[in-house]
Chains A and B, each alone.
Chain A
Amino acid sequence: MKEHTGANGQFIELTGVTKTYPMGEGHIVALDDVSLALQPGEFSGLVGPSGSGKTTLLNIVGSLDEPTSGRAVVLGEDVAQLDEKRAARLRNLHIGFIFQTFNLLPVYSVFENVEFPLLLLRQPAEQRRRAVADALERVGLGDRAASRPHQLSGGQCQRVAIARAIVKNPQIVLADEPTANLDAENSHKVIRIMQDLNRDLGTTFLFSTHDEKVVGYLRRTITLADGRVASDETGSAET
């Protein structure tokens, strides 16, 4: 098991987090007094309709955004107190992202796409090569390293994105609607891969989704409505 907590011993803890965005002369409230905590190794999901605040919450946990009020602590770091460089470093070292639209860089091969986060970490070439090969094996794409994204199916692209997210062995993977662009078969395949990674590596996964197929795999389901936590349920998931 990896070291899951930051310097202050907290993993992910949101206390009274509110996020508003200016809209015309007023403000739109994306998150309204949200408090929740995530423990290391969780396989959790934020569910709720569009506009309920799922992506905003992921952005705050991912240190891409900061709360308007309240406190968000990720791996012992208060997100609001991080300057841009420290926030980037936190993401670089500890947080992996998976997006709805895969967001692979089309001019690079599968290998190079997965290698990119390691380049930012300035890892030696041989170490990078081994880590990328390992990540691609884990998502079942060891034989597609030289392919370009346009040569892959949607499901394969999302698996590359997963490999890119886990290649640096992060403590947290944030996945924003990871199955929204996939068919049922690929959705199950992708979720199972993430489930395996969660189990084998102890990586914490936090999804935002309204895909019932994903919800079925979650061990904890946090439902958001109008920026508030409507329910927070822990239950048995599909295996």
Chain B
Amino acid sequence: MIRFLIKGLLRDRSRSLFPTLTVIAGTTLTVVMYSWIRGTEADIIRANANFNTGHVRVMTRAYTAEVDRMPNDLALLGADELTAELEQRLPNFDWVSRIRFGGLLDIPDASGETRAQAPVTGLGVQLLDERSIDREILNLDNALVRGRLPSAPGEIVVSDELYRRLELEPGDTATLISSTMYGSMATINFAVVGTVEFGVTALDRGAILADLEDVRLALDMEDAAGEILGFLTTGIYDEELTSRAADDFNDWIGSGGDEFEPVMGNLRQQSGLATTLDLAGAVSLALITIFVVVMSIVLWNAGLIGALRRYGEMGLRLALGEPKGHIYRTLILESVTIGLVGSVIGTAIGIACAWYLQEKGVNIEPFLKNASMMIFNVMRARVTTTSLFIGLVPGLLATILGTSISGLGIYRRQSSQLTKELEA
């Protein structure tokens, strides 16, 4: 009997091919959509963590309050000792010190006169410290566009866009004009040895990267750091772990009300990211839910129509003596087969598309011209374990549900009514 029904299913395209194609389409879209939203969310977290907040960030209480102003006069002192303490207390994190600064980059001509000038945002990172993971965190080896990364004191890399705007040549001298930690004017010459592009418009517009020690020297910030960032050694942001680490650290430090006291916050607690992440989470959840529900309704409807258009066949089978329960079970079995085959193929196609989008991404740079948000120019999907199963909700469950509900009509209707439909 099963063989007989499968034979019919395979021969009748309107019962097998088209419903399967519908399930494949629905499942594929669901998997791609889900992976895309998850990828976007993860990218926002990664971009902010890597370039801005870390998984946790230690700053002075006063610096924290005015972090957007990059107030280096409020920076952490004794940063190296504090880092050593952090490494001991929280060994599941990697720690890096950074100094953010603003300034003017002046490019002199052969006679020492200003040839070009631009405002820049600078980042002092541990470029020359071989123990530091910051080169890896900032993905500098891959971000390098021209030249090389700094390998000696006094060398910097600049964003490629800035390099082109200032018409720089490799090896050119650039003078940074900024202010020291104590408020006096600072000027220091650097050699531009390369250019980078992070793929984050907010940084690529006009950033320079120098070694932390050079910046400390230039801004009179001996053993100081604007911020110490912690990255979980797993490389993956974990809200619970980071929140607990921040609480433990802050409890240990205690609150003496000193504005230069170090304070730790996790990614969510910084730069209004809690709202952004909550909003992104809510929007993505809503989008995924709406999409899954809509796809479920479409596929449910397909299952419904599939069963309704076979009322004649059901009537015939009843007349031939097949019990209603058996007809109902065979309908469900068919929908399970179609749902399963469609879901597996749809998930495979969806994963392939999502994988492609994960590897290649979609360039949204034109939409980020004036963006200040830490967001990658190339948005990517992310294939997760859930991507493997999310398609089953509309693909399998909705199809079975649609068939189950429409099939109940077999029970509700009188047998004679079903056979009457044979004459339609």
Note whether A and B form a binding pair.
Answer: yes
Instruction: Name A residues whose Cβ lies closer than 8 Å to a Cβ of B.
Output: 55-56, 59, 62, 64-65, 84-85, 87-93, 95, 97, 99-101, 103, 105-108, 112, 115-117, 119-120, 122, 164, 176
Q: How far is the CA of A164 from the CA of B321 in the complex (A)?
A: 12
Q: How far is the CA of A99 from the CA of B313 in the complex (A)?
A: 13
Q: How far is the CA of A117 from the CA of B1 in the complex (A)?
A: 10
> In the complex, are the beta carbons of B320 and A117 less than 8 A apart?
yes
> In the complex, are the beta carbons of A120 and B321 less than 8 A apart?
yes
A116: chain B residues within 8 A (beta carbon): 4, 320
Name the distance in Å between B420's Cβ and chain A's nearest Cβ: 8
16 A/B residue pairs, CB under 8 Å, sorted by A: A55-B420, A64-B419, A84-B323, A84-B325, A84-B415, A88-B324, A89-B321, A91-B318, A92-B320, A97-B320, A107-B7, A108-B7, A112-B7, A115-B4, A119-B1, A122-B1
Given contacts A105-B316, A107-B12, A120 and B422 within 8 Å (CB-CB):
no
Name the distance in Å between A192's Cβ and chain B's nearest Cβ: 24
The listed residue with most A CB atoms (<10 A of its CB), out of B324, B414, B419, is B419
> In the complex, are the beta carbons of A100 and B423 less than 8 A apart?
yes
A65: chain B residues within 8 A (beta carbon): 414-416
> In the complex, are the beta carbons of B318 and A88 less than 8 A apart?
yes
> In the complex, are the beta carbons of A107 and B8 less than 8 A apart?
yes
Name the distance in Å between B165's Cβ and chain A's nearest Cβ: 69
| Residue B150 CB within 8 A of the other chain | no
Partner of A120 from B7, B313, B320, B416 at Cβ < 8 Å = B320
A55: chain B residues within 8 A (beta carbon): 420
Q: Mark B320-341, 1 if CB is under 8 A from A, else 0.
A: 1111110000000000000000
> In the complex, are the beta carbons of A64 and B319 less than 8 A apart?
yes
| Residue B11 CB within 8 A of the other chain | yes
Q: Which residue of B lies closest to A177 (CB)?
A: B423
Partner of B415 from A56, A64, A120, A164 at Cβ < 8 Å = A64
B325: chain A residues within 8 A (beta carbon): 84-85
> In the complex, are the beta carbons of A91 and B7 less than 8 A apart?
no
> In the complex, are the beta carbons of B8 and A108 less than 8 A apart?
yes
Name the distance in Å between B324's Cβ and chain A's nearest Cβ: 6
4 interchain residue pairs of minimum CB distance:
A92-B321, A65-B416, A91-B321, A107-B11
| Residue B71 CB within 8 A of the other chain | no
Instruction: Name B residues whose Cβ lies closer than 8 Å to a Cβ of A.
Output: 1, 4, 7-8, 11-12, 312-313, 316, 318-325, 414-416, 419-420, 422-423
Q: DSSP majority for the A interface? A: helix
Q: How far is the CA of A99 from the CA of B423 in the complex (A)?
A: 8
> In the complex, are the beta carbons of B323 and A85 less than 8 A apart?
yes
> In the complex, are the beta carbons of B419 and A59 less than 8 A apart?
yes
B414: chain A residues within 8 A (beta carbon): 64-65
> In the complex, are the beta carbons of A88 and B322 less than 8 A apart?
yes
A59: chain B residues within 8 A (beta carbon): 415-416, 419
B420: chain A residues within 8 A (beta carbon): 55
> In the complex, are the beta carbons of B415 and A112 less than 8 A apart?
no
Q: How far is the CA of A90 from the CA of B423 in the complex (A)?
A: 23
A108: chain B residues within 8 A (beta carbon): 4, 7-8, 11
B416: chain A residues within 8 A (beta carbon): 56, 59, 64-65
B423: chain A residues within 8 A (beta carbon): 99-101, 176
> In the complex, are the beta carbons of A88 and B321 less than 8 A apart?
yes
Partner of A112 from B4, B12, B323, B324 at Cβ < 8 Å = B4
Q: How far is the CA of A156 from the CA of B82 in the complex (A)?
A: 95
Partner of B319 from A97, A105, A106, A107 at Cβ < 8 Å = A97
Name the distance in Å between B326's Cβ and chain A's nearest Cβ: 8
> In the complex, are the beta carbons of A93 and B321 less than 8 A apart?
yes
Q: How far is the CA of A84 from the CA of B1 in the complex (A)?
A: 20
Q: How far is the CA of A90 from the CA of B319 in the complex (A)?
A: 10
A91: chain B residues within 8 A (beta carbon): 318-321
B323: chain A residues within 8 A (beta carbon): 84-85, 88-89
Q: How far is the CA of A90 from the CA of B322 in the complex (A)?
A: 10
B324: chain A residues within 8 A (beta carbon): 84, 88
Q: How far is the CA of A64 from the CA of B423 in the complex (A)?
A: 15
The listed residue with most A CB atoms (<10 A of its CB), out of B7, B313, B323, B422, is B323
Name the distance in Å between B18's Cβ and chain A's nearest Cβ: 14
Q: How far is the CA of A182 from the CA of B422 in the complex (A)?
A: 17
Q: How far is the CA of A106 from the CA of B15 in the complex (A)?
A: 12
Q: Which residue of A lies closest to B5 (CB)?
A: A119
B322: chain A residues within 8 A (beta carbon): 88, 92, 120
Given contacts A65-B416, A105-B8, A99 and B321 within 8 Å (CB-CB):
no
Q: How far is the CA of A117 from the CA of B322 in the complex (A)?
A: 8
B11: chain A residues within 8 A (beta carbon): 107-108
Q: How far is the CA of A124 from the CA of B12 in the complex (A)?
A: 26
Name the distance in Å between B73's Cβ and chain A's nearest Cβ: 83
Given contacts A84-B323, A92-B320, A101 and B422 within 8 Å (CB-CB):
yes
A106: chain B residues within 8 A (beta carbon): 12
Q: How far is the CA of A40 from the CA of B414 in the complex (A)?
A: 28
Q: Which residue of B lies closest to A180 (CB)?
A: B423
B316: chain A residues within 8 A (beta carbon): 99, 103, 105
Known: A99-B423, A119-B1. 11 other contacts (CB 8 A): A56-B416, A65-B416, A89-B323, A91-B321, A103-B312, A106-B12, A107-B7, A117-B321, A120-B320, A120-B321, A164-B320
A176: chain B residues within 8 A (beta carbon): 423
A64: chain B residues within 8 A (beta carbon): 318-319, 414-416, 419
Q: How far is the CA of A152 from the CA of B180 in the complex (A)?
A: 97
Q: How far is the CA of A99 from the CA of B318 in the complex (A)?
A: 13
Q: How far is the CA of A55 from the CA of B423 in the complex (A)?
A: 11
B1: chain A residues within 8 A (beta carbon): 119-120, 122
Name the distance in Å between B235's Cβ and chain A's nearest Cβ: 55
The listed residue with most A CB atoms (<10 A of its CB), out of B1, B8, B319, B422, is B319
Name the distance in Å between B311's Cβ and chain A's nearest Cβ: 12
